[in-house]
């Protein structure tokens, strides 16, 4: 549409209003579509700083909303924290205490640290464990195994990859963050499809979205001896 004005530069053209998101009261549908597929969430894609507080808590892109890029990145961050650089035992004890439904009336150093990591929230009268805190405890307890991972495809616009985690299911595809694979292997997004990777994964889950890959790397090259003779466990009749 256009509005005629008295300016000497001619009509003033206005951009059509964007359709509101049907799932939240704060964003346009286009902004939420972009925020869901970005670790920057909705607030990272607004040009006007004054709009950031309005969309900062948008549930459509939040790390607490299952399936968003921010949620997938948070799962990776928490699992890596638990399996590679875990909390001190005192902080873990407090977190398990909260997981049991207990609360602390007075904040402690551990609680402040847990709140900074978003594992706990609350105030002096009531502290509680968050979903990320529960995910951390689960990562401490669940077994993780090495598995080959085949990259079936990469969707560049959404920065996601469809992979098959061989140790979990031989055919079922799993959605993962493509940039995470690229950063771990040094490959570009265009080089990922068709490649086999090695990773650690929690293979006991039933939902593919609950699979979290860590320690991703390119497999070691096969030597001539391996190709000609085969792995030792095959030659000896089975695994040792």
- 55 lies in the same domain as 110: no
| Residue 171 counted as domain residue | yes
Domain tally for the chain?
A: 3
| Residue 15 counted as domain residue | no
pLDDT beyond 80 at 78: yes
CATH of the domain at 173: 2.40.50
| Residue 205 counted as domain residue | yes
Q: What number is the average pLDDT over the span 228-238?
A: 43
Residue 5's pLDDT band, with cuts at 50, 70 and 90, is very low
pLDDT beyond 60 at 11: no
With CA atoms as reference, report the closest residue to 21 among 1, 42, 39.
42
| Residue 78 counted as domain residue | yes
The torsion angles phi and psi of 205, rounded to 5 degrees, stand at -80, 160
| Residue 67 counted as domain residue | no
Among residues 141, 157, 180, the one where a domain terminates is 141
CB 104 within 8 A of CB 96: no
pLDDT beyond 60 at 227: no
* Least confident stretch, 24-28, 135-139, 190-194: 24-28
Residue 10's pLDDT band, with cuts at 50, 70 and 90, is low
Strand order in the sheet with 145-155: 174-177, 160-165, 145-155, 196-201, 214-217
Residue 17's pLDDT band, with cuts at 50, 70 and 90, is low
With CA atoms as reference, report the closest residue to 99 among 119, 79, 82, 123.
119
Among residues 141, 169, 188, the one where a domain terminates is 141
- 31 lies in the same domain as 77: no
| Residue 4 counted as domain residue | no
Q: What number is the average pLDDT over the span 155-175?
A: 96
d(CA 158, CA 34): 9
Among residues 62, 92, 114, the one where a domain terminates is 62
- Where residue 150 falls (left for φ over 0; alpha for ψ -120 to 50; beta otherwise) is beta
Is the pLDDT higher at 238 or at 158?
A: 158
Range of the domain at 98: 73-141
Cβ burial of 36 (10 Å; 0-12, 13-18, 19+) is: buried
d(CA 121, CA 127): 6
pLDDT beyond 70 at 107: no
Percent of the chain with pLDDT over 90: 65
- 209 lies in the same domain as 158: yes
| Residue 112 counted as domain residue | yes
DSSP-derived letter for residue 19 is P
With CA atoms as reference, report the closest residue to 73 among 172, 160, 195.
160
Q: What is the pTM of this model?
A: 0.81
| Residue 6 counted as domain residue | no
């Amino acid at each position: 549409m256009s509005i005629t004005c008295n300016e000497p530069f001619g009509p003033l053209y206005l951009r059509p209003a964007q359709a509101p998101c049907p799932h939240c009261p704060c964003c346009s549908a286009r902004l939420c579509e972009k925020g869901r597929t970005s670790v920057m969430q909705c607030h990272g894609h607004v040009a006007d700083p004054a709009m950031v507080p309005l969309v900062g808590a948008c549930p459509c892109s939040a790390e607490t909303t299952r399936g968003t890029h921010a949620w997938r990145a948070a799962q990776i961050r928490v699992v890596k924290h638990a399996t590679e650089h875990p909390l001190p035992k005192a902080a873990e004890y407090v977190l398990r205490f909260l997981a049991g439904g207990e609360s602390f009336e007075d904040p402690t150093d551990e609680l402040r640290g847990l709140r900074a990591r978003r594992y706990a929230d609350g105030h002096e009268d009531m502290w509680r464990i968050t979903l990320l805190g529960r995910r951390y405890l689960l990562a401490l307890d669940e077994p993780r195994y090495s598995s080959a991972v085949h990259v079936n495809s990469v969707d560049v616009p959404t920065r996601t990859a469809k992979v098959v985690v061989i140790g979990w299911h031989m055919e079922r595809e799993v959605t993962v963050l493509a940039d995470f694979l690229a950063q771990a292997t040094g490959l570009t997004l265009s080089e990922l499809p068709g490649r086999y990777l090695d990773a650690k994964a929690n293979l006991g889950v039933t939902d593919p979205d609950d699979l979290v890959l860590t320690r991703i790397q390119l497999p070691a090259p096969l030597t001539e001896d391996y190709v000609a003779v085969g792995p030792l466990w095959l030659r000896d009749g089975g695994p040792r």
